[in-house]
Structure 1
Amino acid sequence: MEIKERIKQILQYVGGKENVKNAWHCITRLRFELKDKEKIDVEAIKKMDCVLGTAFAKEQFQIVIGVGVEKYYEELVEQLGIDANAPVEAALDEKKKDFVTWFMDVVSGIFGPVVPAIAGAGMIKGLMGGLVALGVITNTTDTYKVIDMLASGVFNFLPFFLAVSAAKKFRTSEYLAVAIAAIIMYPTMIEAAQAGEISAFMLFGMIPVPVFNYSSSVIPIIFGVWGLSYIHKWVDKIIPSAAKTVVVPTITLFIAGLFTLLVVGPVGIYCGKGLAWIIGSLFSVSPTLAGIVMGAIRPISILVGMHHAMTPVALENFSTLGYDQLMPMMFIANLAIVGAVAACYFKADTQREKQIAGSSVISGILGITEPALFGVLTKYKKAFIAATVASTVGSAFIGTFGVRLFGYITSSIFSIPAYIGPWFGYAAIGWVMTLAISFGLAYVLIRKPEDEKEEKSQVRKEADVQDEQKSPSELSAPAAGKVIPMQEIQDPVFSEGALGECIGVDPVDGKIVAPADGKIMHLADTLHAVGIQAGSVEILIHVGIDTVDMNGEGFQSKVKEGQSVQRGQELLHVDLQKIKEAGHPATVIMIVTNTEDFQIIEPAAHGNIKAGEPLMKVKMG
């Protein structure tokens, strides 16, 4: 049976799609938050050939699939219609997220789907702005007005686009979200703001509704839909089922609309202007200094996912100033990354590394720099430094000469025509300068093996990886503490052997080590579990019971996926006190997930044990 059909059955057995409030996964389990647990057909789920077991824990219903759970989750989110890129986010308690993490998640999630529309319109707008600046065309002809409609429509009515995207991100009604956008974009509001004759409408003769021009605005509608998501849930909860169809949207729209007009809309306007003012102040102090700061932080901001924070600022600049100087610096940073990776291509020792670097250069030129950063520059750290230096110098140069854009565009080679105008020459010099500095500096800093000894050392490392295929006859304890037999582990998934034969250790310290020589095959995003391939033995080290809920708090990884490890090498370091405070047993569980391949798997120790001492014997069948 295909995964698609299996997921259909699972959804049927948990009470249907409509019974699912939320779904996510850890390294072995699908986890559900359900509206009505009485609708679950547990026995039917257990009989499915893909299911190793089930469990209830802290209002969650868990279905144990095994280490291939990601494929099932991908199909699950497809059928549920939720964000396929949020396997971890769904599992997080939003209240535990710090504000910066939450903000970055929201901005990237909302702007990602909208980029094609604003990039296409931005390209047209940028070209037209450049031609007007050169005096090639004027903005008074009918031709210009028609083309301007093509370019400006998206930006003028941007709140509608963001409303749909934000509704998906906040998991609320898209049509009610668009209705909120329609409220703040209604001609009565926009015309009053443009006329500038009044500062507020008086609701009921005594409540002032601030007047603002929400055209092209970004933050107000995001805040408004965020408020809508909570108001909609609250109203839906208190209204009887018989009246939901008409009453719920009526009350929701009334409350959320007023909440947006009175509170979050004005707050969003001031926040947007505040962000633009901060960046603008930096440019007013010194455009060169602004370039240095923006150029220096751009590569690292992409690496940590914070680069999306600049998008609202750029859009605010286009809306209020008619141009933006940040986006040219974003393009400079992309070129710096491309140049450094191109140097890595010529310094690479293997054909595979050359292929990765070459493809990353192409994608970087097209505006996608993540492959270059994560696939190349995280390995060649000196090249990353070179890219940062080049980005800083190039951005400072174009900042000094005031290079700007007149419309939002993607930072790729296809955006070059949008720079046509008085500043094109400075922009071109900045591009060439950036590429030359990043390539040259990276090429000098990156060093190949200088003699045969280093090459032989590499050969020995590769031989060590091949030696991992040798299967160990015993597995060492992954932690120091008291041995816990499988049947006494406080989780039926483990104690009943659903994932395979296992054994536990009640740890006395937070050091988790490798039970055998092998290779890291899986590392949970929440760092509570590690999968190791030790020859033909597939091992899963699971730290604590239901610690996936901690979202990695108190867990520190010492290894990464694909890395070779030796017996006794530290894999994780965990804060046992935080696990205890979170209300979870800290039991460290070692599971042989391919138990069926062995004739004998049995404990090799009892009582107290030190990390690295023999804990389990294995013998092939």
Structure 2
Amino acid sequence: MAKKNYDTLSKDIVKYVGGTKNIISLVHCATRLRFKVKDHDCVDKENLSQLEGVITVLDSGGQIQVVIGNHVSDVYEAVFKNTDLKQANQEAQPEEGTKKNLLNTFMDTISGIFAPVLGAMSGAGMLKALLILCTTFGWLTADMGTYRILYAAADGVFTFIPVFLAFTAAKKFKANEFVAVGIAAALVYPDLTAAYSAGEALTFLKIPVVLVSYTSSVIPIIIAVYALSKLEKVLKKIVPAVCKTFLTPLVSLAVMVPATYLLIGPIADTAGKLLASGYTGLVALNPVIAGGLLGLIWPAAVMFGVHWGFVPIVMNNIAEYGRDTLFTITGPNNMAQAGATLGVFLKTKDKAVKEIAGPAALSAVLAGITEPAIYGVTLRFKRPFFIGAVFSGIAGAIVAAAGTGAPTLLGTSILTLPGYIGVGFVGFLIACAIAYFGSAIVTYFFGYSDNMLPKPKQDAASSESVTREEKAGAVKGKITDAEIAAPVSGKVILLSDVKDEAFSGGALGQGIAVIPEDGKVCAPCDGIVSVMYPTGHAIGITSDTGAEILIHIGMDTVTLDGKGFDIKVKEGQRVRMGELLVVADLAQIKEAGLDITTPVIIANTEEYLEVRPFKQESVRQGERLLACIGK
């Protein structure tokens, strides 16, 4: 997407999410904007998912997840640049009475804390992989200054990850960010880190301190910052305003740092060890079965956007054992989905599918970003998605059996393969190759055909399987000229005179408007009712000649929620010109203070050479209103 389109896209996304007033918070991960909203019913998912630049929209984990792809950070920045949504206030708490779900709350908390840091962790992980490659081929050695400086750049993020998480957790829990960072700094303070390494016995006010290594840890600091947020609420109530600026941080640091060393840290460390040993024990029971199941279900975890919820386990594994196997077992899924997408790309002859599948397959195999492949291709045609999942499971079993691990957080792609050099590396390469080429081959021969592409809408009342062009007797690729009759009787006005920018500006298509004399709205042509809004305020008809007509009864009449509209037809029904569609109570619309002007729009204007209104001041229902000239 061109950079200049980010501004328009960001505004449209916020609009369809329900506006800034409906947004509680916004964060982003590697590919998605994650909105937490007040009212999910205010989100227009249909229009949101159809925006150019949006891959798909999910309502999962208590969030509205707008999948963007590689450009997500640019769109994220554009949201705050082009709307009145403020980053400083984006983590506002939901209103009282908002329904909470334990899983949704957990996922929202994890994504809010880890998502802002994932970019730095991924970049540092990639740098570690490159350094492993350089040392493997002898280009660098561990004692060289170049290596040591670059390794510091890569490992520093993971060594001091408590500092990063302290800041994001403080934003999430509404605590003072800098006091939170101060607590994290105390946990990785060199003197106490050295005391742990030397096995010193320390006490605090004669209470024995159980020293723990907090470098690279994630659980202790998150719990500590959560406790800090509760302490600050109490302090704000009891500390005098005149000394609140310095006294609140002073008490917070003086209480929370010892409390973390004495209580929170040791308990969290024990919990982390149990979590790590529980995971490794589960895998150890039967690596092949455990790895196969993990690999098999991982595409679904990615699809619903919950895969980043496993980051704490991965980081905890690295802190406890110096390596992780969870993201290693699930890593070949990227290759499986890339291969399935490649299979579709090679098999299809449809230009539009190729334009989507090619870049998506490349993004998955080179960068490890699979959302465009999943939502744009494999899940769309279903069979490739399941083929990829099966090969992901096969590859997961192989990786688990080989005992492959990674010393850092890595997303699996061709570029990150050096990061897996070590125990089980050959097995990991074999698994990735099987996932990629197996998915591609099986998808090519058995998983896709262009017959899976959706067919044009057909006459719901007819059993004949014919396309719109065949119905009209038109030449293939050409829409027939058409005349559209007036659906209502009344005064004719230009579309540019309609008091609504969407209509007057032609954004919805070209056409004309009628100020109706009565509320009987009839079919302007023979065709199919393609859209029948439940509120009755708007009707879409696809004519037998291919014209897509929108009749919008009044302005802002959707706010009446169906009151004053008597619907006579249903969506998918065949109608004849002059057949009654809706009876609108014009008096009731006027009493509500709304305009009764009724635009008649050709929604697929771009398919015509010209949409020309007939010159007339008034019209009777059934008389000609518009001429559509085919290209």
Query: d(CA) in 1 for partners of 2:453 and 2:361?
Result: 30
Aligned to 2:372: 371
Aligned to 1:407: 408
Aligned to 2:213: 213
Q: Is the 8 A contact 2:196 2:211 kept in 1?
A: yes
State the SS of the aligned residue for 2:411: coil
Query: d(CA) in 2 for partners of 1:443 and 1:308?
Result: 31
Which 5+ residue runs of structure 2 have no aligned equivalent?
A: 1-13, 25-37, 49-65, 67-74, 459-464, 472-478, 489-532, 542-547, 562-569, 575-588, 601-620, 626-631
Q: Is the 8 A contact 2:166 2:222 kept in 1?
A: yes
Give the alignment of 1:487-566 within 5 angstroms: 513=534, 515=536, 517-518=539-540, 535-537=550-552, 566=572
- The amino acid across from 1:426 in the alignment is G
Is 1:169 aligned with 2:169?
no
User: Quick one: which of 160, 165, 183 aligns to 2:163?
Assistant: 160
TM-score by length of 1: 0.61
Query: d(CA) in 1 for partners of 2:369 and 2:274?
Result: 29
Alpha-carbon shift at residue 303 of structure 1 (Å): 1.0
Give the alignment of 1:119-518 within 5 angstroms: 119-128=122-131, 148-198=151-201, 201-202=203-204, 204-206=205-207, 208-348=208-348, 350-365=350-365, 366-421=367-422, 423-448=424-449, 460=467, 513=534, 515=536, 517-518=539-540
Alpha-carbon shift at residue 262 of structure 1 (Å): 4.1
Aligned to 1:111: 114
Aligned to 2:103: 100
State the SS of the aligned residue for 1:105: helix
Alpha-carbon shift at residue 297 of structure 1 (Å): 1.9
Q: Is the 8 A contact 2:404 2:425 kept in 1?
A: yes
> CA offsets per residue over residues 151-192 of structure 1, 9 Å max, x none?
332222111122222233334332112111012222343233
> CA offsets per residue over residues 516-543 of structure 1, 9 Å max, x none?
6549xxxxxxxxxxxxx98142878679
- The amino acid across from 1:441 in the alignment is V
Q: Is the 8 A contact 1:184 1:214 kept in 2?
A: yes
> CA offsets per residue over residues 332-357 of structure 1, 9 Å max, x none?
01111111122233455643232222
Query: d(CA) in 1 for partners of 2:134 and 2:355?
Result: 40
Q: Relative to structure 1, is the Cα distance of residues 593 and 91 closer, same or farther in structure 2, using a 3 angstrom cutoff?
A: farther
Q: Relative to structure 1, is the Cα distance of residues 245 and 451 closer, same or farther in structure 2, using a 3 angstrom cutoff?
A: closer
Alpha-carbon shift at residue 75 of structure 1 (Å): 5.5
The range that moved more, 152-161 or 25-34, is 25-34
Alpha-carbon shift at residue 281 of structure 1 (Å): 0.8
> CA offsets per residue over residues 351-370 of structure 1, 9 Å max, x none?
32322222222222212112
State the SS of the aligned residue for 1:308: helix
Q: Is the 8 A contact 1:332 1:434 kept in 2?
A: yes
Query: d(CA) in 2 for partners of 1:395 and 1:472?
Result: 63
Query: d(CA) in 1 for partners of 2:571 and 2:327?
Result: 43
Q: Is the 8 A contact 1:127 1:420 kept in 2?
A: no
- The amino acid across from 2:21 in the alignment is R
Q: Is the 8 A contact 1:232 1:252 kept in 2?
A: yes
Which 5+ residue runs of structure 1 have no aligned equivalent?
A: 1-23, 35-57, 475-511, 520-532, 545-563, 569-588, 601-616
The range that moved more, 454-463 or 343-352, is 454-463
Query: d(CA) in 1 for partners of 2:118 and 2:453?
Result: 50
Query: d(CA) in 1 for partners of 2:383 and 2:305?
Result: 21
Query: d(CA) in 2 for partners of 1:219 and 1:116?
Result: 20
State the SS of the aligned residue for 1:155: helix
Q: Is the 8 A contact 1:537 1:594 kept in 2?
A: no
Q: Is the 8 A contact 1:119 1:409 kept in 2?
A: yes
Q: Is the 8 A contact 1:30 1:73 kept in 2?
A: no
Query: d(CA) in 1 for partners of 2:143 and 2:266?
Result: 34
- The amino acid across from 1:537 in the alignment is H
Is 1:31 aligned with 2:21?
yes
Query: d(CA) in 1 for partners of 2:331 and 2:593?
Result: 47
Query: d(CA) in 2 for partners of 1:264 and 1:594?
Result: 61
Query: d(CA) in 1 for partners of 2:412 and 2:99?
Result: 34
Q: Is the 8 A contact 2:111 2:308 kept in 1?
A: yes
Q: Is the 8 A contact 1:347 1:443 kept in 2?
A: yes
Percent of aligned pairs sharing the same letter: 29
Alpha-carbon shift at residue 136 of structure 1 (Å): 9.3
> CA offsets per residue over residues 25-84 of structure 1, 9 Å max, x none?
9865653899xxxxxxxxxxxxxxxxxxxxxxx9xxx9xxxx99x999855876622476
Q: Is the 8 A contact 2:170 2:180 kept in 1?
A: yes
- The amino acid across from 2:86 in the alignment is L
State the SS of the aligned residue for 2:380: coil
- The amino acid across from 1:218 in the alignment is V
Q: Relative to structure 1, is the Cα distance of residues 305 and 447 closer, same or farther in structure 2, using a 3 angstrom cutoff?
A: closer
Aligned to 1:573: none
Q: Relative to structure 1, is the Cα distance of residues 180 and 453 closer, same or farther in structure 2, using a 3 angstrom cutoff?
A: closer
Query: d(CA) in 1 for partners of 2:452 and 2:178?
Result: 66
Aligned to 1:561: none
Query: d(CA) in 1 for partners of 2:174 and 2:426?
Result: 46
Query: d(CA) in 1 for partners of 2:22 and 2:306?
Result: 30
- The amino acid across from 1:81 in the alignment is Q
Q: Is the 8 A contact 2:384 2:443 kept in 1?
A: yes
- The amino acid across from 1:111 in the alignment is F
> CA offsets per residue over residues 465-515 of structure 1, 9 Å max, x none?
x99x999969xxxxxxxxxxxxxxxxxxxxxxxxxxxxxxxxxxxxx9564
The range that moved more, 111-120 or 344-353, is 344-353
**Structure label with greater radius of gyration:** 2
Q: Is the 8 A contact 2:276 2:313 kept in 1?
A: yes
Q: Is the 8 A contact 2:344 2:357 kept in 1?
A: yes
State the SS of the aligned residue for 2:21: strand
Q: Relative to structure 1, is the Cα distance of residues 382 and 142 closer, same or farther in structure 2, using a 3 angstrom cutoff?
A: same
Query: d(CA) in 2 for partners of 1:406 and 1:268?
Result: 22
> CA offsets per residue over residues 447-470 of structure 1, 9 Å max, x none?
436699968959747999x99x99
Query: d(CA) in 1 for partners of 2:448 and 2:593?
Result: 42
Q: Relative to structure 1, is the Cα distance of residues 100 and 599 closer, same or farther in structure 2, using a 3 angstrom cutoff?
A: closer
Query: d(CA) in 2 for partners of 1:351 and 1:92?
Result: 48
Alpha-carbon shift at residue 141 of structure 1 (Å): 7.2
Query: d(CA) in 2 for partners of 1:193 and 1:302?
Result: 39
Give the alignment of 1:589-608 within 5 angstroms: 595=595, 597-598=597-598
- The amino acid across from 1:397 in the alignment is I
Query: d(CA) in 1 for partners of 2:358 and 2:104?
Result: 32
Query: d(CA) in 2 for partners of 1:191 and 1:372?
Result: 47
Structure number with higher relative contact order (C-alpha < 8 Å, ≥ 6 residues apart): 1
CA RMSD of superposed structures (Å):
5.1
Query: d(CA) in 1 for partners of 2:432 and 2:593?
Result: 53
Query: d(CA) in 2 for partners of 1:452 and 1:331?
Result: 30
Query: d(CA) in 2 for partners of 1:167 and 1:463?
Result: 63
Aligned to 2:526: none
Q: Relative to structure 1, is the Cα distance of residues 360 and 378 closer, same or farther in structure 2, using a 3 angstrom cutoff?
A: same
- The amino acid across from 1:176 in the alignment is V
